[in-house]
Amino acid sequence: MASTHQSRLRINSVPVGNDHPSIGQPIVKKRTAIPTTRAAFGILDNRQKPSLLKQSTLRPKSTSTAIPKKTVSSTAVRQPLASNINNKPQITNSKTNFIRKETISQKFSGIPVITSSKIETECEEKMIIGSPIKSDSELQGNIFDIKKASVGDVDSGDVNNPQLCSEFVNDIYHYMLHLESCYKIKPQYLSDTTLKSKMRTILIDWLIQVHHRFQLLQETLYLTVILLDRFLQSCTIPRAKLQLAGVTAMLIASKYEEMYAPEVTDFEYITDKAFTAKQILSMEILMLKTLDFNLGSPLPLHFLRRNSKAGQVDADQHTLAKYLMELSLIDYDMCHISPSRLAAASLCLSIKILDNQEWNDTLEHYSRYSRSSLQSTICYLAKNLLRATCNTNSYQQAVVTKYSSSKFMKIAKREELQSQLVVELAEESKSHNL
């Protein structure tokens, strides 16, 4: 990003560029759970007003001219109603118990009537259960059906735990794989714009620090980057609005993931008031329209948790995989890697570095990736890991500092990260193209 815009990348008025300040105390705003009263809606209850009940009674409109109320007495009004009691439509004794079409057509002329034969025909049509996005062929079977004896059922012990959804967890991940194919990021999508890859790198590095200062969920950070990449590949914005797009993506992701999302004024403050709240809200409208309000993109964290359960990995291996995934967020060359592939490659490299374990059949089944298909992604992850360990990339220091804390088990300081295996894989990345 140009030097004129680096002054905008601030956290508490501290410039964020090549100099990375230490992560300070988190910004915590006191919020209340007391609901506010909305005068426009008033107090809503489930009681029906008597006047509304009278108005909601539907009666067929008479074609005759209405008689003024002054010339009609109360008894005169009741008599026609009483005389119509014996002339009410008769109910048939058939199994379907429908009103005769002749009687209805005489009283409600001009109104289309659905006959019993038509209803029975519609009920005989086959009902398709599932998302309307899926085609019929996708609903025939699940890709996670176990067909190998060497693959274990990782959900067999979760039958009595309703929170783990063991009955349809495979259907959920089947659908998530379908969704990630709908929200693809094009490789090198900034090549046709005025933006450079380094600008994106600086912005993501700054957003990681903002995410850490606000103490947001991990899902919020990954969704922020995905929404930002999807927006930038579909909408061309000037360089001066790149940081505005970044904070707006985090605002939308916070509203989607967080229980208590930061307010617009919080993001106005974190940018050192380089952008006003009105500008952030205007960018939010543009971003939501560009994304067509499709915010439910699958995240690498979702697939990593499933793969970690399938591989029965420990906390160190799972944390190192998260460290590798977060380092890849800054790498522009890896922005188009699908979340499922990124999660599988990160876990594969993690268990290889820490415990020298191999990618088995169970992990291949639940991740849908073989060891050979992950080789190129693993090499790029090793390249990012080596740069972070050797401090050769200054824009990775925010992630390194984050994962050097005790909260993340000081995984960034492990000696295994400087092993000969990492060096060899990083060198091999030069011969691979993602």
Whole-Å CA distances, 197 to 125, 201, 322, 366: 53, 6, 23, 34
Query: How sure is the predictor about 28, in pLDDT bands with cuts at 50, 70 and 90?
Result: low
Query: How sure is the predictor about 409, in pLDDT bands with cuts at 50, 70 and 90?
Result: very high
Dihedrals φ, ψ of 268, to 5°?
-65, -40
| pLDDT above 80: residue 131 | no
Do the two domains 186-290 and 300-431 of this chain adopt the same fold?
A: yes
Structure token pair of residue 266:
């919080």
Coil, strand or helix at 11: strand
Q: Write down the H helix ranges in 262-359.
A: 264-270, 277-290, 300-311, 315-330, 339-355
Q: Considering the chain, what is the average pLDDT of its residues? A: 78
Query: How sure is the predictor about 433, in pLDDT bands with cuts at 50, 70 and 90?
Result: confident
∠ CA 271-198-249 to the nearest 5 degrees? 45
Strand partners, 10: 15
| pLDDT above 50: residue 297 | yes
For the chain, domain boundaries: 186-290, 300-431
Model pLDDT, residue 27: 54
Model pLDDT, residue 274: 92
- Contact present, 342 and 334 (Cβ < 8 Å): yes
Antiparallel, parallel or unpaired: β 14-15 and 10-11: antiparallel
* Mean per-residue pLDDT, 84-89: 46
∠ CA 183-189-193 to the nearest 5 degrees? 135
CATH of domain 186-290: 1.10.472.10
Query: How sure is the predictor about 25, in pLDDT bands with cuts at 50, 70 and 90?
Result: low
Query: How sure is the predictor about 306, in pLDDT bands with cuts at 50, 70 and 90?
Result: very high
Structure token pair of residue 166:
């063991």
- Contact present, 207 and 270 (Cβ < 8 Å): no
Looking at per-residue pLDDT, the higher value among 47 and 164 belongs to 164
Query: How sure is the predictor about 26, in pLDDT bands with cuts at 50, 70 and 90?
Result: low
**CA–CA separation, 18 vs 353, rounded Å?**
30
Query: How sure is the predictor about 29, in pLDDT bands with cuts at 50, 70 and 90?
Result: low
Rounded to 10 degrees, what is the CA torsion of 60, 64, 70, 75?
Answer: -60
**CA–CA separation, 100 vs 313, rounded Å?**
68
Helix (H) or strand (E) holding 208: helix 197-214
**Chain centroid to CA 323:** 21
Strand partners, 14: 11
Output the pTM of the full model.
0.70
pLDDT digits (tens, 9 = 90+) for 326-377: 999 999 999 999 999 999 999 999 999 999 999 999 999 999 999 999 999 9
Coil, strand or helix at 396: helix
**CA–CA separation, 228 vs 244, rounded Å?**
11
**CA–CA separation, 155 vs 249, rounded Å?**
35
- Contact present, 318 and 412 (Cβ < 8 Å): no
Question: What is the topology classification, in CATH, of domain 300-431?
Answer: Cyclin A; domain 1 (1.10.472)
DSSP string, 144-163: T----TT---TTGGGTT-GG
pLDDT digits (tens, 9 = 90+) for 178-222: 999 999 999 999 998 889 999 999 999 999 999 999 999 999 999
